[in-house]
Amino acid sequence: MSDLGLDPQNPFAAASVLPYGLPDFRAVRDEHFRPAFEAGMAQERAEIEAILADPAPPTAENTLDALERSGGLLRRTAAVFFTRHGADTTAALDAIEQEVAPLLAAHEDAIGLDPRLLGRLDALQRAADDGTVELAPDAAWLLHTRRRDATRAGARLAVDAQGRLRALNQEISVLEAEFGREVLAATNAGAVLVHDRAELAGLPADLVDAAARAAEQRGHGGAYLLDLRLPTQQPVVALLENRPLRERVHRASISRGSGVPSTPSTPSTPSTPSTAGADGTAAHPVGRDTRPTLLALVRARAERARLLGFPHHAAYVADEGTAGSVEAVEEMLALLTARAVDRVRVDATVRAAGLAADDPAATFEPWDWAYYAERDRSTQFDVDDSRLRPYLELDRVLHEGVFRAAGDLYGLTFERRTDLAGYHPDVRVYEVGSAEGRGVGLFLADLYARDSKRGGAWMDSLADQSHLLGTRPVVINTLNIARPRDGEPTLLTVDEVETLFHEFGHALHALLSDVRYPSQSGTNVPRDVVEFPSQVNEMWARDPDLLRAYAVHHLTGDPLPAPMADAVVSSQVHDAGFTTAEHLAAVHLDQAWHRLSPEEVPADPEEVARFEEQALDRAGVALGSVPPRYRSTYFTHVFAGGYAAAYYSYLWSEVLDADTAAWFRRNGGRTRANGERFRRTVLSRGGSADPRRIVRELQGRDPDIGPLLARLGLGGPGETGAELLP
């Protein structure tokens, strides 16, 4: 055993010797995690104690640098564990998470609530203020954020209040983990089983084939299984001609976690126990009512916010972000909501007319919108996903689209490293190089859906860039694209192409980081600006020149015909009212839940649906045909994913993104000069300075909401908006 109490044979006992510190996933087994977590927490506590016991006056080196160096073993262990748990979970990993989550919360509190640590940080600030100690700008900002975070964590509270805070933090960590497990189980169980191939009319052949294989793999040979994606809107609904099947899929989506009987579902898996029968019909699967967990979580967060001196959790979150206050968030939401709802009402008339032409007696419903919007897009722009998908083959989009844009802008190169392994056979590993031929880091792509992976798309870091630690970035992008048969091409929708570009924007933020401190690296920025670089990167998905490079027919090699390419570019704002309204509805739900006091949180799970209805009505987004992008019962972004009271950040960041995209276009588009400026002023700096200053520096002024209104078709020509940043 090592002096950490950790077996030296445990792969976490020492830093990986693989290139760029890539974890040795081949060596990691489930039984390695728990002892590595325990040893890692013990090691970090000892390291912090040594900092606090140092009799020398605090300096950047003996305090800030020392804090940033601490916790290496715990960082290594947590990075691998939570990557695997999110992307390839098992019953064993679920059990470890249940055990470890409260221990980690208690560990963080033991450090964050220690008054000696806050006292040392305060002393360093006084020394900096009186000139005794001189701090570099990044160190000064780190000191500011560490003191702020310690205060927000409760380090200045009385001892009895801290005791209650510790209990709440552990409770919240357990509930968040539980909610994530429940939603994954509910999403897997909600997959819709179809026995008659004719019902799938409208689906492309490769998606029908994928549904057949999904059914066969889960014990329903000869049938077809339509897996659910995390958002309310399911991509297949836009394509299915069979209206009753569209309704079944929609109802399966919105009923997840609600405690109502499940629609046809998948049979059980080790991590998703189910009572589904062989025909796919079932009573509500055991343990898939997320509402009690949701309510307990909202109540605990509300009590914690009050304990820390805030009226509610939303105020606690806004205080840390660039928004600064819930009033600033409300101002943006009010402007966008009014315009989006007006647009939706106009578009709803057009969509309903499409249904009326097919069935005059039918009433327009939520499961009709995507289908008739897609038909309208096909008519208006002479293009639709069924015609586009043969030109959007995954490997070509990745290499000739995503990677090429990064090369044009930042001089990056990408080489496949088949000698390096990820945590699952699906994971591809690429070495990223600079224009000068230097190694930048590793990029891991985990792109296909599987039952063991949570829904949605995200970016994670296995290692952060840091000059202090001498580490370079190892970054993961995770998506949920339907897997084709072996040897068959993976064909994407336009939305999936944009998601690929979006997540890679997060990866670029990490890969191009150039900071001293690991806690300031890459995406370690306030939640309401973390989406800014990723949304900027989406603009290249519809760049006409790049589109010609990556949109090539997978069989013939013919480029996307010019009229279709033009339509892809010009149809960007098509149905923008709907997409904005569904997003806003989810934002308003998030804000409504997190502006409650503990006493205002409903006690009865049956009250969840009524609370949602009232919240949407008050916000002016109670639109029958446009449900929220996420209902509360499967809103993992806010109840399990770190976006609690911060889901507004996508729209907040989109203001920054649209303004920056307009800057790129004014200055010549996808050039190295523009990329270098964006890299130098934004991407490379991570969280090493005030984000308000970073955002303003690119264009020398405050962001303007006008370009976003124009992009969404919600504003007049040349309209500008008020300054965004306080």
For residue range 400-420, what is the model confidence (pLDDT) as tens digits? 999 999 999 999 999 999 999
pLDDT of residue 380: 84
Question: Percent of the chain scored above 90 by pLDDT?
Answer: 88
* Domains of the chain, start order: 19-112+114-156 (1.20.1050.40), 291-384+576-645 (1.10.1370.10), 389-571 (1.10.1370.40)
Q: How far apart are CA 556 and CA 314, in angstroms?
A: 53
- Please say if the pLDDT value at position 702 is more than 80: yes
Sorting pLDDT into bands at 50, 70 and 90, what band is 725? low
Confidence label for 724 from pLDDT (cuts 50, 70 and 90): low
Structure tokens at 617: 């009505």
- Please report which confidence band the pLDDT of residue 261 belongs to, taking 50, 70 and 90 as the band edges: low
Q: In the prediction, which pLDDT does 712 show?
A: 87
**CA angle at residue 126 from 124 to 130, to 5 degrees?**
120
Q: Which two tokens stand for residue 70?
A: 């601490």
- Mean of per-residue pLDDT scores for the chain: 92
Q: Is the pLDDT of residue 269 over 90?
A: no
User: Which amino acid is residue 693, in one-letter code?
Assistant: R
Nearest to 35 by CA among 68, 64, 8, 63: 8
Contacts of residue 507, Cβ cutoff 8 Å, sequence gap at least 6: 443, 459, 475, 477
Task: Give the bridge partners for 463, in sequence order.
Answer: 474
Is the pLDDT confidence value at 10 over 70?
A: yes
pLDDT of the residue at 378: 87
- Position 573 confidence tier, pLDDT thresholds 50, 70, 90: confident
Catalytic positions are 503
Pairing label, strands 439-448, 474-481:
parallel
Residues contacting residue 479 through CB under 8 Å, at least 6 positions apart: 446, 447, 448, 457, 496, 499, 500, 503
Please tell me the distance from the alpha carbon of residue 694 to that of residue 673, in angstroms, as a whole number.
18
Residues 6+ apart with CB under 8 A from 561: none
In tens, the pLDDT along 492-523 reads: 999 999 999 999 999 999 999 999 999 999 99
Whether 717 shows a pLDDT value over 90: the answer reads no
Give tens-digit pLDDT for 526-539.
Answer: 999 999 999 999 99
pLDDT for 11 equals: 97
User: What pLDDT is stored for residue 272 in this prediction?
Assistant: 36
pLDDT at 716: 53
- Helices (H) and strands (E) counted in the chain, each on its own, are 27, 7
Q: What pLDDT, on a 0 to 100 scale, did the predictor assign at position 381?
A: 84
Average pLDDT over every residue of 622-649: 96
Q: What is the pLDDT of residue 402?
A: 98
pLDDT per position as a tens digit, 40-80: 999 999 999 999 999 999 999 999 999 999 999 999 999 99
